[in-house]
Amino acid sequence: MDGRGLVSGVAGREAFDEAPGDRGREQCRTMSDPQETRWSAVALICDDPPMSDNTRQRRLAAMRACDRILSGVRPATMRDRLADLDAGGDLDADPDFYGDGPVTTLENRVADLLGTEAAVFFPTGTMAQQVALRYGTDHTGHPTVALHPLGHQEMHERHAYAHVSGLRSAWPTTAPRNPTADEITALGEPVHTVVIELPLRDAGFVLPTWDELTAVSAAAHAIGARVHFDGARIWESAPYLGHSLSEIAGLADSTYVSFYKTLGGISGAALAGTTELASFARVWRHRYGGNVFQQWPAALTALAGLDRELPRIPDYVRHARTVAKTLTALPGVRVHPEPPPTHRFRLWLPHPSQALNDAALALAEEEQVWFAGGWQDTDVPGIAMTEITVAGPALQLTAADIIEVGERFLSRVAGR
Ligand SMILES: Cc1ncc(COP(=O)(O)O)c(C=O)c1O
């Protein structure tokens, strides 16, 4: 355990615009590592109080009833989820038995999409990536993996790679972006794997350009390391990179994808790569406790998500640029990155998070308009930040609608 990282405990808050504090916050820890100290100035503040069950239920109910939703998607009920299951496959067919049937269908679909020899279903991305890192260390004999301090492994997994797999991390950079080729070349110590998170979520969903990505992949291979893509959001990275999913995954030795974020599945992940990696992954998935008896609900909703959401993502990404640009016209708004490379970006307002969360709920309950929730205070007093997700509901909003929704929200914040 290297003990690094401001741990703020945010696992998967995509579906309905959820705040980082919502899912059982992990303990905040500030470490003595010098890299950590440099980084902490820009890391998220992680002591915002968890949302009460009552507030969460009020918010879900209010969002469901909204006519207009700027950020996020309308929260699904369990009955909505059942409809997804129906859309994902033949419910009269046999369920899976330890990963056959619909789970195999999903694995094959992912391998086709990513152009890999194989893909292996995992109950979580956290587990899938630990197995990918273990493969790297087993095949090179080095215990060190190159991670970003803002990457999911450092920020949101309680350092499982260290505790469970006995690995160490090296940080090629602390800049709020993925590492460059030069930074990989300059690492100066052997690493078994270089992990690139596409996009780097906790830096604001930032992406490298295609040329930067090809260069960093080549630099990793040149120092004898494998390349692993944390592709939890690879689906929405493809439009900006300007290449197909298989061309992107072709730069890596392994790629993890998620089914429950942008695709809207129940849960689950896949690890894609060679058949040799897949065999290893199946063995270690079992050892890590991920050989689940039946996973057909997750598999079917993932298949439904691939059918329904994947084709819509380029529109979300395109519209996110309009939403981000339009929002900057509102008083006090700051947006990053601008233009956003994916359909998600960060937005700051000069108000405390509590005032912004209260205003969002009141606007939704009283006017059936949802601006954005999940506000968190930053380390600049009086400035709060949230992540905006431009998905299906926002496609209905023109620039004029966006301004109107934003003005209504700001009026609420001002108490008018
Ligand atoms: C970038 C990234 N990587 C990995 C994960 C882990 O996925 P899971 O929640 O399936 O363990 C997440 C989840 O939020 C993520 O955002």
Question: In 3D, which of 299, 132, 342 has the Cα closest to residue 230?
Answer: 132
Ordered domains of the chain (ranges, CATH): 20-77+312-413 (3.90.1150.10), 84-308 (3.40.640.10)
Q: What is the pLDDT of residue 50?
A: 61
Q: What is the pLDDT of residue 335?
A: 98
Contacts of 409 (CB under 8 A, 6+ apart): 359, 360, 363, 369, 371, 372
Atom of ligand 1 nearest to the CA of 230: 3
Query: For the whole prediction, is pTM greater than 0.75?
Result: yes
Mutate to test the pocket of ligand 1, among 22, 148, 152 (most ligand atoms within 8 A of CB): 152
* Closest residue by CA, ligand 1 atom 14: 12
Question: In 3D, which of 241, 244, 292 has the Cα closest to residue 267?
Answer: 292
User: Computed from CA positions of residues 197, 203, 204, 210, in that sequence, does the dihedral angle turn out positive or negative?
Assistant: negative
Q: What is the pLDDT of residue 390?
A: 98
Q: What is the pLDDT of residue 416?
A: 63
Q: What is the mean pLDDT of residues 135-142?
A: 94
pLDDT greater than 70 at residue 357: yes
Q: What is the pLDDT of residue 84?
A: 83
Q: With bands split at pLDDT 50, 70 and 90, how would you rate the model's confidence at 55?
A: confident
pLDDT greater than 80 at residue 85: yes
Q: What is the mean pLDDT of residues 144-173?
A: 96
CB-side neighbour CA atoms (13 Å) of 199 = 27
Binding site membership of 248 for ligand 1 (Cβ less than 6 Å): no
241 DSSP β-pair partners:
none
Q: What's the alpha-carbon Rg for the chain, to the nearest Å?
A: 21
Tell me the pLDDT tens digit for each residue of 196-235: 999 999 999 999 999 999 999 999 999 999 999 999 999 9
Query: What is the torsion angle, in degrees rounded to the nearest 10, for the CA atoms of residue 359, residue 362, residue 368 and residue 373?
Result: 40
Binding site membership of 178 for ligand 1 (Cβ less than 6 Å): no
Q: With bands split at pLDDT 50, 70 and 90, how would you rate the model's confidence at 9?
A: very low
Distance 12 CA to ligand 1 centre (A): 6
Contacts of 183 (CB under 8 A, 6+ apart): 172, 173
Element at 292 (helix H, strand E): none
Binding site membership of 154 for ligand 1 (Cβ less than 6 Å): no
pLDDT greater than 50 at residue 95: yes
pLDDT greater than 60 at residue 302: yes
